[in-house]
A and B are shown apart, each in its own frame.
Chain A
Amino acid sequence: MIIKKIAIYLLVITVSIWSLFPIFWAFIMSISTNVELTSVPAHIIPEKPTSHFYKLIFGLVREELSVISGQAEFIKRGLINSAFVAFITCITTTLIASLGGYVFGRYNFPGKTQSFFIILMSRMIPAISIIVPFYYIFWKYRLLGTYQGLIIAHMAALIPLLMWVLMGFFSTLPIETERAARVDGCGRLRAFRKVMLPMAAPGIAAATILAFTTSWNEFLFAFLLTTGSKAQTLPPSIAGLFTMVAQYALLGASCTLSMIPPIVLSTIFERYILRLRLVDPVTVREFS
């Protein structure tokens, strides 16, 4: 028994190091100086920890080299833009997807399997294979480099995912309460709002977080649709920063800032997110 315990804890420690090391290292880079990071061997625990690079990003201090200050400025803008885009995206997507998920999880109608198939397929499309027409269409409708453009792109990718997840969630909720509400004279939308939404609140909260983090983290569309514009979000800003050599500390600070919201949110809502089981195969099976 004791041996088994020790073995388990050894495995737990190994896995924890594996999972946390890159996150930990980004943080260490962010509080080190470039000199410490580029010494050989690099200092794993910085001798003189500094918050200089965070201050630089938030514009509290300036560097002599205007290029670096400029990059830090982009990171700050990226943070604001990412937060804005992710916020709007997660609100609108969750609104649409919870209605859609409700219908898929609760109603039977001719063509249900086919529509489900379409939804599933649109989630399977590799983003890279539609990026050129996307770029072209956005260029045509003057949506390149705009907030609404990126929000639309993120919504297109996220609605299927969230519907899929929420459909599973709705189908697990007890049907009796809803039936009672309907018998009492509630319309479908009213029953949805008054009875289903409160019951589904944990699932919808988790879906909202899933949408927020996915939009916040998204790189490819953000990179191609917003790079160089005033709507440039955080990941493309970090990509721009990476091309500059020997700015490891600033890079570490940007990466840390970019990882904080997803990490905090998924730590707080871990239980709910896991309850969705992300793309729940079990409930999808029940559905067919």
Chain B
Amino acid sequence: MASLNPKNFSFSFTDTQFAYAIIVPILLIEAALTGYPILYSLYISLGEVDPATGAVKLVGFTNYLSALKDPVVHESILRTFYFCSIATIGAVSLSLFLALIMNENFTGRRVFRVIVLLPWATSEFVSSLIWRTILSETYGVLNSILLSLKLINTYKVWLTEKYAMLWVVVVWLWHFAPLGAFFILSALQSIPQELYNAAKVDGAGVWKRFRNVTLPYIKYSLLIVLVLSTMEAFRAFDVFYALTGGGPGMSTEVLTFQIYRLQFQQLNFGYASAISYILLLISFALAMMYFVLLTRRRR
């Protein structure tokens, strides 16, 4: 009966119990809202779905096998890697470039930082739509400006089969590079000024100072930006939907857009889910890399 006595009754958690009391419900919410859909998607990917009734007929790995044999899927995988590699290279170099400018000392530096941040704050979908109107071949303002400056004679089509993907990269970079830039900037600001001064005294030039002083300090941030941008480029969807819609032809149909098209235009749920799983596995591999990088201590 001792425990009913208010004096002796102590309702106190240990640290571990307290942590579990908060973390476990959150994990359960996440399990319900993302774990369950993922498992359900696995189930659909193993079957054929009747779009009218939603009934699933299990067919084993047929969807996966045909996806692996389908040249359309192959092409979109190649396109995805093509997009990811240019986007990643672009993201790392543009982020570094922006960060180096922001790290300089000049009047108006705070305003400039806000300006650099803005593209990241706007919606990827909305800004891609605006870019689409800017690049439009009929009334686009890019054409207007170039025509007014007499740099072109007639309005040009910018989103051609050959160059559309590069334009997607440009628009994606417009949106994503600020994030990377601020990662690198925070690393740049942790470099002690004395190191630069010492290097200057030793007569090191700009390039040497960058390589021997700056680079070792920001190497880790560059790596993070590299992996993060690969991951984000891999998941990119809004920019494709708003800017090119997978076209012209199939020239910008990456995996994410292909999944969308198969699901919502062709109602081929089983096949789309199988491709989703291929996408999911690749993103998990990338996420694992990221996790290892994050949890590994900096030497």
Interface residues of A (CB under 8 A from B): 5, 8-9, 11-12, 15-16, 18-23, 25-26, 29, 37-38, 40-42, 44, 96, 99-100, 102-104, 107-110, 112-113, 115, 117-122, 124-134, 136-137, 152-153, 155-156, 159-160, 163, 187-188, 213, 216-220, 224, 235, 238-239, 242, 248, 251-252, 255, 258-259, 262-263, 265-267, 270, 273-274, 277-279, 281-282, 284-285, 287-288
Contacts and interface: CB of A to CB of B under 8 A. Distances in A.
B138 to A, nearest CB: 8
Given A9-B106, A159-B26, A282-B186, A134 B37 contact: yes
Nearest to B42: A133
Contact of B276 (A20, A124, A129, A265): A129
Contact of A44 (B35, B145, B174, B235): B145
Q: Provide the main secondary structure of the chain A interface.
A: helix
Nearest to A273: B117
Nearest to B140: A42
B207 interface: no
A126 B279 contact: yes
B68 interface: no
19 contacts: A8-B106, A12-B101, A20-B115, A42-B140, A42-B141, A96-B26, A104-B23, A115-B23, A130-B41, A132-B44, A134-B37, A137-B40, A156-B33, A217-B123, A218-B123, A219-B241, A239-B125, A270-B114, A285-B296
A110 to B, nearest CB: 7
A282 B218 CA distance: 12
B71 interface: no
A103 B286 CA distance: 27
B126 A259 contact: yes
Counting chain B CB atoms within 10 Å of each CB, which of A96, A122, A133, A267 scores highest? A133
B44 A263 contact: no
Interface in B230-252: 231, 234-235, 237-238, 241-242
B54 interface: yes
Contacts of A102: 22
A86 to B, nearest CB: 11
A266 B117 contact: yes
Interface stretch (B9-17, B157-165, B197-205): B9-17
B76 interface: no
Given A122-B30, A159-B30, A270-B114, A288 B123 contact: no
B114 A284 contact: no
Contact of B18 (A25, A103, A265, A277): A103
Contacts of B26: 96, 100, 119, 159, 163
Given A22-B127, A100-B22, A263-B122, 7 more contacts: A40-B155, A115-B23, A124-B283, A132-B41, A159-B30, A238-B125, A274-B117
Contacts of B296: 285, 288
B82 interface: no
B123 to A, nearest CB: 3
Contacts of B40: 133, 136-137
Contact of A213 (B15, B35, B121, B272): B121
A124 to B, nearest CB: 4
Contacts of A26: 130
Counting chain B CB atoms within 10 Å of each CB, which of A103, A113, A251 scores highest? A103
Contacts of A99: 22
Given A103-B18, A118-B30, A130-B37, A278 B294 contact: no
Given A119-B30, A235-B126, A255-B126, A8 B104 contact: yes
Contact of A23 (B122, B148, B298): B122
Contacts of B290: 120, 124
A163 B124 CA distance: 23
B183 interface: yes
B95 interface: no
A102 to B, nearest CB: 8
Contact of A12 (B112, B121, B224): B112
B217 interface: no
A224 B54 CA distance: 17
A44 B144 contact: yes
Counting chain B CB atoms within 10 Å of each CB, which of A96, A213, A220 scores highest? A220
A219 B118 contact: no
A115 B27 contact: yes
A273 B264 CA distance: 37
A219 B124 contact: yes
Contacts of A21: 134
A239 B236 CA distance: 17
A21 to B, nearest CB: 8
A116 B260 CA distance: 30
B19 interface: yes
Nearest to A188: B18
Nearest to A130: B37
A124 B144 contact: no
Contacts of A278: 179, 182-183
B131 interface: yes
A128 to B, nearest CB: 5
A266 B141 contact: no
Contacts of B259: 128-129
Contacts of A213: 121
Contacts of B119: 19, 22-23
Contacts of B125: 217, 219, 235, 238-239
B78 interface: no
